[in-house]
């Protein structure tokens, strides 16, 4: 049975939710390292997720914590929630965000926000390396337009898409793409093949590719243009972004199939957006900040 997996920050848990929202169960608990991105390897029977790590001390009430300490990690469990293992140890990168994969090639891909990079490793955590580096050092890490957050892959064309969100509610968000494979002689911090698709976005977060030609993404920026779900054409040409759903309370995760897309928010709900019928409904309200979501046959 297909269910929706959702990462819950307050409960420190991974939930499995029925697609009609009527049943919610906890699949994995004790996720105390601020889980964020999630992807499912259906063939091998694994669920992977990134951790942002423990936040830096000193956050003021009502403000989001900072994550400049290098203590991100990546974990894996079986589809039944058992055999939990850390495959990329704490401190191997800074802040784990959205996670995706090329399971046929045996590679995981994710964004390291304050680490200012797009990273990849094999399915057991080996061969960890950057594909893109947008800044280096503490000074660059404080520049929010360097922060990589959302990621998805076009495996047919061997392209990686990612967001750089900019300042909170700052209207400085950007979306890029580049070949997955570095060109000869290039380095992750000096790639001549990086293409800027859009800039001046409210605050783009997570990405999903619909078919080969359309990119879907969440945006948690200021209203009316932010806290929305966006779509834009990326093949054969790059088109103008358009809003397909509004009114979120800090939109974060997105996953879907065909014309059905699920969106999670820090406000604690998951919504179902049906592009075929034009309907937009709240599927479930958990009342706890939700980050990454993914579909899985459990």
Burial tier of 188 (Cβ tally within 10 Å: 0-12, 13-18, 19+): middle
Q: Round the average pLDDT of the chain to a whole number and report it.
A: 96
DSSP conformational letter for 141: H
Whether residue 3 is contained in a domain is answered as no
**What percent helix, strand, coil does the chain show, rounded to 5?**
5, 55, 45
Is 61 a residue whose pLDDT tops 80?
no
> Structure pTM?
0.97
Least confident of 61-65, 215-219, 287-291: 61-65
CA–CA gap between residue 239 and residue 125 (Å, rounded): 36
- Please count the CA atoms within 13 angstroms of the CA of 13 that sit on its side-chain side: 13
Within a domain: 105: yes
Residue 84 lies in a domain: yes
Closest CA to 292 of 139, 151, 107: 151
Q: Judge whether residue 169 has pLDDT over 90.
A: yes
State mean pLDDT over 24-38: 98
Structure confidence at residue 257 (pLDDT): 86
Q: Is residue 144 part of a domain?
A: yes
C-alpha to C-alpha distance for 275 and 245, rounded to whole angstroms: 10
- The closest of 104, 225, 103, 127 to 173, measured between CA atoms, is 225
User: What is the CB neighbour count within 10 angstroms for residue 175?
Assistant: 25
Is the model's pLDDT at 62 over the cut of 80?
no
Whether 203 is covered by a domain: the verdict is: yes
Q: How many other C-beta atoms lie within 10 A of the C-beta of residue 59?
A: 11
Structure tokens at 171: 């209207």
pLDDT score of 16 more than 90: yes
Lowest mean pLDDT among 51-60, 66-75, 164-173: 51-60
Phi then psi for 144, rounded to 5 degrees? -65, -25
Is 27 domain-assigned? no
CATH number at residue 174: 2.120.10.30
* Domain that residue 189 falls in: 33-297
pLDDT for the residue 193 = 98
The whole-number pLDDT of residue 98 equals 99
Domain count along the chain: 1
- Listed in sequence order, the residues at least 6 apart from 56 whose beta carbon sits closer than 8 Å to its beta carbon are 65, 66, 67, 68, 69
| Position 59 pLDDT exceeds 80 | no
- Please state, in angstroms and as integers, the Cα–Cα distance from residue 7 to each residue in 97, 99, 252, 254, following that order: 12, 12, 11, 12
Look at residue 95 in the predicted model and tell me its pLDDT: 98
Inside any domain, residue 241: yes
Whether 266 has a pLDDT exceeding 80, the answer reads: yes
pLDDT confidence of 258, banded at 50, 70, 90?
A: confident
> What is the strand order of the sheet 214-219 is part of?
204-210, 214-219, 228-233, 242-246
**Domain assignment present for 210:** yes
Cα–Cα–Cα angle for 276, 281, 284, rounded to 5 degrees:
130
Q: What percent of the chain has pLDDT over 90?
A: 95
Dist. CA 264–CA 55, nearest whole Å: 21
Rounded to 5 degrees, what are φ and ψ at 139?
-65, -45
Q: What is the pLDDT of residues 201-211, one digit of tens each?
A: 999 999 999 98
Instruction: List the strands of the sheet with 290-297, edge to edge.
Output: 24-28, 13-18, 2-8, 290-297
Over residues 99-122, the pLDDT tens digits come to: 999 999 999 999 999 999 999 999
């Amino acid at each position: 049975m297909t269910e929706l997996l959702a990462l819950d920050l307050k409960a420190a848990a991974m939930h499995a939710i029925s697609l009609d929202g009527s049943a919610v169960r906890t699949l994995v608990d004790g996720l105390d390292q601020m889980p964020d991105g999630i992807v499912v390897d259906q063939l091998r029977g694994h669920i992977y997720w990134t951790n942002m790590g423990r936040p830096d001390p000193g956050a003021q009430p009502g403000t989001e914590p900072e994550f400049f300490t290098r203590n991100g990690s990546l974990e894996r469990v079986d589809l039944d929630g058992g055999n939990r293992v850390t495959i990329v140890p704490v401190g191997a990168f800074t802040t784990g965000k959205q996670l995706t994969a090329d399971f046929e090639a045996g590679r995981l891909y994710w964004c390291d926000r304050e680490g200012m990079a797009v990273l990849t490793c094999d399915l057991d955590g080996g061969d960890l390396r950057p594909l893109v580096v947008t800044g280096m050092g503490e000074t660059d890490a404080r520049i929010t337009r360097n922060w990589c957050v959302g990621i998805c892959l076009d495996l047919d064309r061997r392209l990686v898409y990612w967001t750089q969100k900019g300042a909170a509610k700052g209207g400085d968000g950007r979306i890029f793409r580049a070949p997955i494979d570095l060109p000869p002689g290039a380095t992750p911090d000096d790639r001549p093949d990086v293409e800027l698709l859009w800039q001046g976005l409210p605050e783009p977060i997570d990405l999903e590719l619909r078919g080969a030609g359309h990119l879907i993404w969440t945006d948690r920026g200021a209203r009316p243009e932010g806290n929305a779900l966006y779509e834009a054409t990326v093949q054969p040409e790059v088109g103008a972004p358009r809003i397909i759903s509004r009114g979120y309370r800090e939109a974060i995760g997105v996953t879907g199939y065909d014309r059905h897309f699920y969106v999670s928010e820090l406000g604690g709900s998951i919504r179902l957006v049906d592009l075929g019928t034009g309907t937009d409904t709240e599927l479930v309200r958990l009342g706890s900040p939700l980050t990454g979501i993914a579909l899985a046959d459990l």
